[in-house]
Structure 1
């Protein structure tokens, strides 16, 4: 992060400089660290500029000019999500910054950083990646401006996007540039997006369309919600490295070309990435802790990918739906290494990936045919071709518990409970050894019409899991509880659905503090529904609460007991013609309004 550190390594020049919107934390839970370590492992000299000031170019020049290229990322999250709440208010905390401080990254960080670097170093190639660039690679609905924005590659002077998990792509780009290839000639690497001028596209279009799919151009999807939904469906269905095609989208001043997705890493490659010498510490230049590290410092990533394909989640379009798992030996070696790290007290506080219990699961069709184009592996039910056995995971958990110096291995969150229900041995293992009093699960909603749109299991599945959880805890002699996470304002959710859910919470005693309002983040199916009012896969209309007032009312329904929410709950009940739930009888959600601002 400084020329002094480079000199200490004997480097008088850097090959690649990574610019990131997060503080620099050398931990495999942070994308910048993984990419930096992978490049270093390949022999490249890598520098990191973390959270640079963007009012001028000074911070962008502090490591000098890289020999090969700049790699640019907003950090572990989209910068707009980092900076704003679902109600579009500025956040008061940023867990990826020292001391939880806000204001250390700009809005639309990738575009801002790219422009500043082009100003400072006009001739240096730029490769953008990470969540923000990956999920804004095509024309995309932007919740914060309430409009369809161009591809981030059209909005920035960058040369290439690395989308998805980027180790293989970034190494190939580095190797080609190192051999003297011009960045303008690098346009055939899987898992990358590049741009060509409109004249060239018109000349090559007839020859190229046999290999590529052209989706409606920006000028059309920005005006037509129907075309936007169709474009999203094609992008989603082609997100497969085996059967996926190149996709082209014309923009007013350039043409965006996405090559087919990069293959996932093999088990051996994944092991190698996670066995690189991460310190699992913040950079020593920081005087304050970075809170995000505390959450994951002694956790272990066991696999990548998620076949759940929840509508509100972008993992399917970033990591993919195929599961790629590390070997048990590699995971055990990482756990053993914790004993040499300052502050480790014997507890591994997280074990899993995007989900906690998809480790080792595979489909018999994935290797030859890829993921199914028009099906979801476990919705509404698990596909017979999918191996839902938890045997490999159970073996892993047992072997971790046997390691000297490891006293506890907790799985406190991320369990896909519809999968867990299919394997009682796993649930017994989980309850007996791997929960620290509470298990966080995410039913998201208790109205089946809403969970269907979410592609989540219905209420009855959660009830069966809760009962099984209770029974097994009694069997193993544990006093443990479920903490349920719920979501309001998701597409498909009406005010009536929220009232039904509030009544269900009232009747079952499932009142929870863990509630979030749906945020339309880039490139999710739910965001497409929010913008278009249409399910992109079925073409059916979907109800959407678009006004901030209705979104606030929906969220207030889940916390109907809070006096500060009573005015909003009352307004919602009035709108739905359900004032029978405002009064003094046993089944009322709130008391009777007496008049005055807070008279209840």
Structure 2
């Protein structure tokens, strides 16, 4: 494993210096150029380079100037376009649709360096720059908008982004295998319009004469008018997101059909090792130094991706539609080599911030059946109860952590990508929990129960409150045994589908029992591709067919959020109104169970109080 001091070219001067006359591919991205394996742009470009292709990067071009898209000349094979590591609309707007002022993926954290709906805008400009160059889109924005989808910001159903962008081909999911297969087909002269049998892609056609054994979902016209049809469409799409048993999916849009080939096969351990062993520079391009660099690199510089995929089944997470439910892991030797490399870097202080993935303690497939039959079509591994075939075993992950903390120069190894507490609770061997408390947290452990009302947890795809209570008991017992005074910090979410005022009050009562006010309030954010977003739009759980209560009025959402921070004086009026509306005046007064007093507290200048009523969103946060 090595560090490459040579970035991929971003200018004609760098092309000349590297002796490249014409690039094979030009990758256009909404993020600043960071050559680190936590950034999709870096992985895809380095994979292509390892296959012998030349790749240039146009990062955050001025979308009002077509010359920006001609900066590196005309690519020989194709433009590759993504919005960056985050959907551009989520990057720009809060859950309450307010414009964000910052952007951690931009120079100095400044906002305004990418457009709304970046994939569509970039495609239009790339087409204007070179009309005959194929355009292939990918990344999170393209992947999760590949079918007709509800768009929270427009509050309507939008067409597949493949059609709205007028791209030639869409790559969904994690695209390493897919992009190499496509690149080689283009290299040998195949027209992009003929690339219709590569797994992990979406294309459009005028008829279905050449297709066999496919599933047709309700059309764009149907799902944009009928919420039952939308729910049915999502269910059918959800059921086919597995490489082993998934079928081709088709959705009609006007006089064309959008066709999704089955998901790409997961990477083997050897392939995963190869991806993370590529010669990344592991930092941002020097052109950003004058503005202080790119803030997003700080959190991942000394973090290690140990695996991909998640079988946790959280409804508000779109991983099923992007990385999938099948775990793909790296070998221990590959991970340990990366940590050893980190210890040689000038700014390494001895701390590994994370060894994990979407869920840190999912290091292997959920069961043996998945290896040959794929993931179950209509069952979850953990919800509502753990499957009898689930393999609950932390031994291999524990072995990895032990070796990591013994590497010379490593002072401490943290686990920050999150522990799935229910999975840990089901492990009858207490060793992992004990070593987690002893070695891998510092004062507090963040976990994500998300709520305490079982009716809400059911819609979230989360375990019942009883499971969380069991975990907290085990956690504090383990710390007592170690003579450590460490805390639990729960992530909690307001206004998720299924949560009415009564559920929000139940959550507020639980928060009171914790004895402190959450520093951040997490509002549910309807983002493309998630089961929860479908429930938000349709009022239906598409997998069960049941009707679901959805808090949509801003006033009620404000009340639910305020209830989670009921002790903040500024929230008094909203909390009292919510309690009266729900018929819970018994919680107003001086009783030990009351949330607020009868009379409003005197407001003070709160200054920089740590309980300042911040809000956060659920998109692209690792929730477990």
Same fold (TM over 0.5): yes
Q: Is 1:34 aligned with 2:38?
A: no
Tell me which residue corresponds to 1:410: 414
Map of 1:54-73 to 2, 5 A cutoff? 54-73=63-82
Residues 558-583 of structure 1: CA deviation (Å, up to 9, x unaligned): 01111121222122122212233233
Residue 266 in structure 1 maps to residue 268 in structure 2 = yes
Which stretch shows the higher mean deviation, 221-230 or 3-12? Answer: 3-12
- 1:158 to 2:162 alignment: no
Kindly state the Cα deviation for residue 597 of structure 1 after the two structures are TM-superposed: 11
Structure 1: state its 5+ residue gaps. none
Q: CA deviation at 1:93?
A: 1.7
Matched, 1:387 2:391: yes
Structure 2 partner of 1:376: 380
Kindly state the Cα deviation for residue 465 of structure 1 after the two structures are TM-superposed: 1.1
Aligned equivalents of 2:402, 2:392: Cα separation in 1? 19
Q: Pick from 496, 504, 526 the counterpart of residue 520 of structure 1.
A: 526
Cα distance in structure 1, aligned partners of 2:417 and 2:45: 28
Query: Aligned with 2:173: secondary structure?
Result: coil
1:238-317 equivalent positions in 2, closer than 5 A? 238-286=240-288, 287=290, 288-317=292-321
Q: Secondary structure at the match of 1:483?
A: strand
Matched position secondary structure for 1:573: helix
Give, in angstroms, the shift of residue 595 of structure 1: 12
Change (3 A) 1:361 1:367: closer
| Aligned partners of 2:573 and 2:600 also within 8 Å | no
Residue 176 of structure 2: aligned partner: 167
For 2:257 and 2:581, the matched residues in 1 are separated by 47
Aligned-partner Cα distance in 2 for 1:167–1:307:
21
Determine which structure has greater relative contact order: mean sequence separation of CA pairs < 8 Å that are 6+ residues apart, divided by chain length.
2
For 1:597 and 1:430, the matched residues in 2 are separated by 42
Aligned to 2:424: 420
Equivalent-residue separation in structure 1 for 2:120 and 2:474 (angstroms): 49
> 3-state DSSP class of the match of 1:291?
coil
Aligned with residue 397 of structure 1, among 386, 401, 406: 401
TM-score by length of 1: 0.96
CA contact (8 A) 1:303 1:325 kept: yes
Counterpart of 2:545 (choices 532, 539, 545) is 539
Asked if the contact 1:27/1:278 (under 8 Å) is kept, the reply is: yes
Q: Which residue of 2 aligns with 1:143?
A: 152
Distance 1:343 1:94 in 2: 23
Deviation of 1:596 (Å): 12
Q: What is the TM-score of this pair, normalised by structure 2?
A: 0.93
Superposed counterparts of 1:328-407, under 5 Å: 328-407=332-411
Residue 83 of structure 1 corresponds to: 92
- 1:108 matched to 2:112? The reply is no
Matched position secondary structure for 1:484: strand
Q: How many angstroms does 1:88 deviate by?
A: 0.3
Aligned length: 591
User: What displacement does 1:253 show?
Assistant: 4.2
Deviation at 1:254, TM superposition (A): 2.3
Indicate the residue corresponding to 1:557 in structure 2. 563
Alpha-carbon distance, 1:361 to partner? 4.0
Conserved 8 A contact 2:136-2:169: yes
- Alignment correspondent of 1:572: 578
Structure 2 gap ranges (5+): 1-9, 605-624
Q: How does 1:195-274 map to 2 (within 5 A)?
A: 195-197=204-206, 200-201=207-208, 204=209, 208=211, 210-274=212-276
8 Å CA contact 2:569–2:602 kept in 1: the answer is no
Q: Deviations over 1:42-76 (max 9, x none)?
A: 11111111111111212111111111101100111
Q: Which moved more, 1:422-431 or 1:29-38?
A: 422-431
1:7 paired residue number: 16
User: For the structure 1 residues 49 and 253, does the alpha-carbon distance in structure 2 shift closer, same or farther, using more than 3 Å as the test?
Assistant: farther
Matched, 1:441 2:450: no
Q: What is the deviation of 1:7?
A: 1.6
Choose 535-544 or 252-261, whichever is displaced more: 252-261
Q: Does 1:450 align with 2:459?
A: no
State how 1:468-483 maps to structure 2 within 5 Å.
468-483=474-489
Structure 1 residue 329: Cα displacement: 0.6
The CA deviation string for residues 214-250 of structure 1, in whole angstroms up to 9 with x for no partner, is: 1111000000000100000010000001110000000
Stretch moving more, 511-520 or 16-25: 511-520
> Alignment partner of 2:299: what SS?
helix
- Secondary structure of 1:340's counterpart equals coil
- Distance in 1, matches of 2:67 and 2:533, equals 37
Q: How far does the alpha carbon of each residue in 1:307-358 deviate from its partner, in whole angstroms, 9 at most, with x for none?
A: 0010000001100101111100111111111122220112100110000100
Q: Deviations over 1:479-534 (max 9, x none)?
A: 22111110001001111100111112213425322321000000110000000000
Distance of 1:69 and 1:342 partners within structure 2: 38
Alpha-carbon deviation of 1:478? 2.4
Q: 1:346 to 1:395 in 2, by over 3 A?
A: same
Q: Could you say which residue in structure 1 is the equivalent of 2:607?
A: none
- SS state of the match for residue 249, structure 1? strand
CA distance in 2 between partners of 1:225 and 1:406 (Å): 54
- Name which of structure 1's ranges 340-349 and 521-530 shifts more when overlaid on structure 2: 340-349
| 1:467, distance to aligned residue in structure 2 (A) | 1.5
